[in-house]
Chain A
Amino acid sequence: MQFSFHDSAINASSTSDLIPALRVKDLAFYYGSQKAIESVSMDIYQGQVTAIIGPSGCGKSTFLKALNRISELEGVVRVEGQVEFFGQDIYSRQVNLNRLRRQIGMVFQKPNPFPSSIYDNVAYGVRVFSRPNRVSLDETVESALRSAALWNEVKDNLSKSALGLSGGQQQRLCIARALAVKPKILLMDEPCSALDPIATMKIEELIDSLRHELTIAIVTHNMQQASRVSQYTAFFSTDESRIGQLVEFGATTQIFMAASQSRTRDYVQGRFG
Chain B
Amino acid sequence: MKQTSITPELCRPLSPARTVFNYGMTTIAFLLSGLALLPLLAILLEILRQGVPGLKWEVLTNLPAPVGMEGVPNGFANAIVGTLIMVGIASLISIPVGILTAIYLAEFSQGKAIAQLIRFVVTVLSGVPSIVVGVFAYAVVVLTVKGFSALAGGFALSIIMLPIVILATEEALKLVPTSLRLASSALGASRFQTVFRVTIATALPGITTGVLLAVARASGETAPLLFTALFSQNWFEGLTSPTASLSVMIYNYASSAYAEQNKLAWSASVILVGIVLFVNIASRIVTSNRFKNR
Contacts and interface: CB of A to CB of B under 8 A. Distances in A.
Contacts of A116: 201, 291
B189 A128 contact: yes
A156 B190 CA distance: 32
Interface stretch (B123-131, B158-166, B176-184, B223-231): B176-184
B201 A163 contact: no
A188 to B, nearest CB: 11
Q: Which of B178, B181, B187, B197 has the most CB of A within 10 A?
A: B187
A3 interface: no
Interface residues of B, number: 24
A163 B186 contact: no
Interface residues of A, number: 29
A101 B182 contact: no
Interface string B41-60: 00000000000000000000
Contacts of A1: none
B185 A70 contact: yes
Contacts of B184: 114, 124, 128
Contact of A114 (B180, B186, B292): B180
B27 interface: no
Nearest to B289: A115
Interface string B103-132: 000000000000000000000000000000
B153 to A, nearest CB: 38
Interface stretch (A14-22, A133-141, A174-182, A210-218): A174-182
Interface in B239-273: none
B187 A177 contact: yes
Given A70-B182, A108-B186, A125-B189, 17 more contacts: A70-B185, A73-B182, A98-B188, A101-B186, A101-B188, A105-B187, A113-B183, A114-B201, A115-B292, A124-B187, A128-B187, A161-B291, A161-B293, A163-B292, A163-B293, A177-B187, A178-B187
Interface of B: 177-190, 193, 197-198, 201-202, 290-294
